[in-house]
Structure 1
Amino acid sequence: MAGKGALARRIPTSLALAIGVFIGLIVSRFFPWTSSTATHTWRSNHIAAKPHQHSRHPIQLPTPDQRLRVLELLTSLSQRYTRECMRNTQPFYAQQILERYSSLAGHRWRSSAQNSWWSTFFGDDERAQAVLSTPSEHKYFFAINLYNSFDVIPDMFAALFRVAAILGYHNVYVSIYENGSTDQTKALLRIFDALTRSVGMRITIRTSTRTRGAFNHRIEYLAEVRNAAFVPLHELRDSENEYFDTIVFMNDVLPCVDDILELIWQSRRNNAGITCAADYMYHDEIGSPVFYDNWVARDINGTALENAPFERVFHHSESSQRWQRHLPVQVQSCWNGIAVLDPEPFYTPPHLRFRMAKIMEGECSASECSLICNDYWEAGYGRIMMVPRVKLAYDGRVYDIIHPPRRNLTAIRGYVRLGGLPDDPRTDPQDRSWFGPHDRLFIEEESVPLDFKPGPKEVWCWGWDGAGDLDGPDVDPIWEPMSNRSIVSNAVRIRHDRSLGL
């Protein structure tokens, strides 16, 4: 034994390593480190499919029963918003959304999931099984910033869970960055992190105690917080060579499943650079919700939208007419609670990031969300639009007003009108009203792609120059000249095809 030990000690280290690597290669050739049932090939428009391309972190896809159990638990923890917005919808609406969003489904239908929440959303199980037969491989990156969001987290996660189940868990990655919360947001995030991971939903939650310092510029701070939610996007590209085809950036809002799906559908239907919802706040003087995010939103003429009832939100006449008919509208910039972004400008030059204004170069110190829209125009991705059908609220009071229950007896739950006429959203009083039921029926014009125009030469801007100022824009508004690149037709041509193949 002593002779053998001496012989082993005489083998050079480099030769021993070479022998070990050779043996390892032989073993891995005949005994792969993963099984074919536990892996999934991550794919996007940037990466060609390879027969043996594996993720370093393969996931076991959940069974329908596992999904349903976790969904029931999430729903029991959530408020009533996401639980009720798709309950008892009109049969006509259920049929419409099944046909409209079937191209987004990232899975094959499993017939064992009978009487599940799927049938509640899509309608009849057999019809859904027939429509959802070809899974999509489009990949989605959800980025979320949270701060003191204890009240909205349960509903947000319940909606995310449903959306991921439709898009395909393997096609979805959720990145949440929370910082500075003084309530129980961090504790609640741990609970939902464990629940969603238990069924294979890929999620990264990063928390921090960081808050904005007294002398930090507010926009610089907000840009850093938004960029922090994007960190996994670049980590997955660098470490896994995984790219995403669509980014969904969410604020702490109360969305329903079809709200998110409609924004994604419109984004891909129009090959839009940025697609936004419409968000609302309660106006005490008017005693009604009004449009909220007018610090960022600008119409295609560059004019600011108004904190006003829907008839007076837009100054641009054509946009106002489309808005009041619930039709998608081209804008110069928007954000409004949820924004769906084409990720190409983040992956390729000019490699965009959220930022503060270049004040020393004379740039107006607008919101980081306004600036990202300006940068999209500059990069040639100026196809920016708002979807008025998707109405978002930040609290239950506003949510209940903008989504009242359906009370019109002539359109109740699929019954035909007197005289045998079918339900028609053009003549239904509630479908024509601005604040109406969530199951508002679609009209054909909502599916027609927009004819995008070049951007305006100037944009109305309220600057925010003062470090430490907490109250709002602190300089006089100006008309800021836009780059020549944003006012030519090349700024709105399709550069990254993300279409639905309809």
Structure 2
Amino acid sequence: MGKQPGVLRLRRLTTPVALAIGVMLGMLLSRLFPWTATTPAWRSNHIRPKSHQQSRQPIQLPTLDQRARILNLLTSLSPHYTKQCTRNAQPLYVQQTLERYAPLIGHKTPSSGSWFSKFFADEDDLRVGRRDLVPSDHKYFFAINLYNSFDIIPDLFATLFRVAAILGYHNVFVSIYENGSTDQTKALLRIFDALTRSVGLRITIRTSMRRRGAFNHRIEYLAEVRNAAFVPLHELRDAENEYFDTIVFMNDILPCVDDLLELIYQSRKNNAGITCAADYMYHEEIGSPVFYDNWVARDINGTALENAPFERIFHHEDSSQRFQRHLPIQVQSCWNGIAILDPAPFYSPPHVRFRMARITEGECSASECSLICNDYWEAGYGRIMMVPRVKLAYDRKVFDIIHPPRRNLTAIRGYARMGGLPDDPRTDPQDRAWFGPHDRLFTEEESEPLTFVPGPEHVWCWGWDGAGDLEGPDVDPIWERMSNKSMHSDAILVRHDRSIPGL
């Protein structure tokens, strides 16, 4: 039987002509049967609201039942630490917190109750309610470095899950870079990677066997590790035209849900360039936790903070008084376990990044975290602050001391309300204690915006040239002169408005 004339004509067509016809037919079919993604387009306030932004790999949002099952699994895998932070919190603190962080909610809340309103309850009683996605103008990029972090990973992921549920999964991206671990950190990360993706939270986990060699400069190495956690920030900008409005950079610490929310709240309320917590380590000789990260932290006079009990940490008198009253403080630099960063200097000139000092140019070889604070001052984002209310620990021993359980004093004091009176939270002795219960009541001063001043002329620097001790500063400390830009009032202007609507 002979072939059909039409088939013969098609076979005589050259390859380029056949490809052109195929492309035209494909375009015609795509117009007749358009594909619509069920996943909302990601965007932030750097992108015009009307612009359409499709992800190359659209994320299918899970069902409510799927989210509930993963929540229960995450809770069961989470050990003692952070799940105890807000369990049995006093009612007045719960009320204060719900009102304080309500503007951070990144989804529509149901008419009666929500996951956010119950995050203080026992995790066994939590139920995932309906949360309709709403367009958000604020997006959060979480960057995390991990090394031999097996013990803290369950707490870390449980907190990330809960915070993302409040901020809105569609508003959050998590980037984790782990390298050189000798325990089972990598294996545990794979488990939580799968769990977290299944609830619709976007996450990238990159692992490496790289470790710092015996002859590598420690600060250069740490700067590279921190920059590795930032790779997706620039990949999403270049490939997806996606920008973020807040960066949350976390060390391997044990954070509570309200710790992260308070840092984000203070950062946005004050339009701060960098916002830090306060971290603690155990001092064997004193027998008590002391302030930890004094290699980076400097008060607004440029003086180093001390590895000491709370009343002797600051040399700057006004800062010391505010610190002892748990009030936010302006500082010249800090990191302290968690830092909330305004991402604008990463996106715009001079394009800051973590780096080691320019030793050949005479720059003091400070920590990569100190240097990025200096670079923020140089770029005009010198609104740097510390939030003493947020106390962080790296292990269970310190965590239990700085987050003691609340004791029932009702029978002794003769009235039912615990934790102070509504008009004077300082009436409770447990709230006045420095290492008091986690559900410490908020005072009015904690919500007042900070008044920022230009930076100091000189900053105390204890350098690390890498020529001597590989594990600690190896040169004599100096008073290093800062750039003229950091001492000008322009360094503390609000250049990127990240404020919370209505506050």
What TM-score comes out, normalization by structure 1 length?
A: 0.93
Q: Which runs of 5+ in 1 are unaligned?
A: none
Find the counterpart in structure 2 of residue 211 from structure 1.
211
How far the C-alpha of 1:111 sits from its partner, in A, is 5.8
Q: How does 1:475-486 map to 2 (within 5 A)?
A: 475-486=475-486
Give the distance between the partners of 1:304 and 1:483, measured in 2 at CA.
18
Q: How does 1:133-282 map to 2 (within 5 A)?
A: 136-282=136-282
Find the counterpart in structure 2 of residue 374 from structure 1.
374
How far the C-alpha of 1:358 sits from its partner, in A, is 0.2
How far the C-alpha of 1:3 sits from its partner, in A, is 5.4
Kept in 1, the 8 Å contact 2:421–2:427? The answer is no
Q: How does 1:14-53 map to 2 (within 5 A)?
A: 14-35=16-37, 38-50=38-50, 52-53=52-53
Over 3 Å counting, the alpha-carbon distance change for 1:467 and 1:228 in structure 2 is: farther
Find the counterpart in structure 2 of residue 11 from structure 1.
13
Give the distance between the partners of 2:323 and 2:443, measured in 1 at CA.
14
Counterpart of 1:227 in structure 2: which amino acid? N
The DSSP-based 3-state class of the residue aligned with 1:121 is coil
The DSSP-based 3-state class of the residue aligned with 2:345 is helix
Q: Does 1:415 align with 2:423?
A: no
Cα deviation code 1:215-234 (max 9, x no counterpart)? 11000000000000000000
Find the counterpart in structure 2 of residue 98 from structure 1.
98
Kept in 2, the 8 Å contact 1:214–1:468? The answer is no
- Of the structure 1 ranges 65-74 and 388-397, higher mean CA displacement relative to structure 2 is found in 65-74
Give the distance between the partners of 1:53 and 1:478, measured in 2 at CA.
50
How far the C-alpha of 1:19 sits from its partner, in A, is 2.0
Give the distance between the partners of 1:245 and 1:421, measured in 2 at CA.
37
Find the counterpart in structure 2 of residue 121 from structure 1.
120
Counterpart of 1:148 in structure 2: which amino acid? N
Kept in 2, the 8 Å contact 1:218–1:468? The answer is no
What TM-score comes out, normalization by structure 2 length?
A: 0.93
The DSSP-based 3-state class of the residue aligned with 2:392 is strand
Q: How does 1:447-486 map to 2 (within 5 A)?
A: 447-467=447-467, 469-486=469-486
Over 3 Å counting, the alpha-carbon distance change for 1:226 and 1:51 in structure 2 is: closer
Counterpart of 2:23 in structure 1: which amino acid? V
The DSSP-based 3-state class of the residue aligned with 2:314 is coil
The DSSP-based 3-state class of the residue aligned with 2:285 is coil
Give the distance between the partners of 1:173 and 1:133, measured in 2 at CA.
16
Kept in 1, the 8 Å contact 2:54–2:240? The answer is no
Counterpart of 1:75 in structure 2: which amino acid? T
Find the counterpart in structure 2 of residue 74 from structure 1.
74
Give the distance between the partners of 1:410 and 1:484, measured in 2 at CA.
56
Give the distance between the partners of 2:201 and 2:174, measured in 1 at CA.
8
How far the C-alpha of 1:58 sits from its partner, in A, is 2.2
How far the C-alpha of 1:24 sits from its partner, in A, is 1.6
The DSSP-based 3-state class of the residue aligned with 1:390 is strand
Counterpart of 2:365 in structure 1: which amino acid? S
- Of the structure 1 ranges 49-58 and 226-235, higher mean CA displacement relative to structure 2 is found in 49-58
Over 3 Å counting, the alpha-carbon distance change for 1:99 and 1:486 in structure 2 is: same
How far the C-alpha of 1:4 sits from its partner, in A, is 4.7
Over 3 Å counting, the alpha-carbon distance change for 1:481 and 1:422 in structure 2 is: closer
The DSSP-based 3-state class of the residue aligned with 1:263 is helix
Over 3 Å counting, the alpha-carbon distance change for 1:364 and 1:466 in structure 2 is: same
Kept in 2, the 8 Å contact 1:136–1:167? The answer is no
The DSSP-based 3-state class of the residue aligned with 1:377 is helix
Q: Percent identity?
A: 77
Give the distance between the partners of 2:461 and 2:479, measured in 1 at CA.
6
How far the C-alpha of 1:332 sits from its partner, in A, is 0.3
The DSSP-based 3-state class of the residue aligned with 2:252 is coil
How far the C-alpha of 1:471 sits from its partner, in A, is 2.5
Over 3 Å counting, the alpha-carbon distance change for 1:137 and 1:45 in structure 2 is: closer
Counterpart of 1:416 in structure 2: which amino acid? R
Over 3 Å counting, the alpha-carbon distance change for 1:39 and 1:152 in structure 2 is: same
Find the counterpart in structure 2 of residue 340 from structure 1.
340
Kept in 2, the 8 Å contact 1:355–1:368? The answer is yes
Kept in 1, the 8 Å contact 2:458–2:479? The answer is yes
Cα deviation code 1:470-497 (max 9, x no counterpart)? 3300000000000000000000000000
Counterpart of 2:316 in structure 1: which amino acid? H
Give the distance between the partners of 1:198 and 1:338, measured in 2 at CA.
26
- Of the structure 1 ranges 16-25 and 51-60, higher mean CA displacement relative to structure 2 is found in 51-60
Over 3 Å counting, the alpha-carbon distance change for 1:499 and 1:417 in structure 2 is: closer
How far the C-alpha of 1:421 sits from its partner, in A, is 5.5
Runs of 4+ in 1 over 4 A off after TM superposition: 2-6, 111-114, 131-136, 420-423
Counterpart of 1:415 in structure 2: which amino acid? A
Cα deviation code 1:102-141 (max 9, x no counterpart)? 1111111246977x67424389x9xx99x99977441000
Kept in 2, the 8 Å contact 1:417–1:423? The answer is no
Aligned CA-pair RMSD: 2.6
Kept in 2, the 8 Å contact 1:95–1:122? The answer is no
Cα deviation code 1:11-39 (max 9, x no counterpart)? 2433323222222222222322334xx12
Kept in 1, the 8 Å contact 2:90–2:418? The answer is no
How far the C-alpha of 1:69 sits from its partner, in A, is 1.8
Give the distance between the partners of 1:476 and 1:51, measured in 2 at CA.
54
Kept in 2, the 8 Å contact 1:381–1:491? The answer is yes
* Aligned residue pairs, count: 494
How far the C-alpha of 1:367 sits from its partner, in A, is 0.2
The DSSP-based 3-state class of the residue aligned with 1:459 is strand
Q: Which runs of 5+ in 2 are unaligned?
A: none
Q: Does 1:321 align with 2:326?
A: no
How far the C-alpha of 1:59 sits from its partner, in A, is 2.0
The DSSP-based 3-state class of the residue aligned with 1:426 is helix
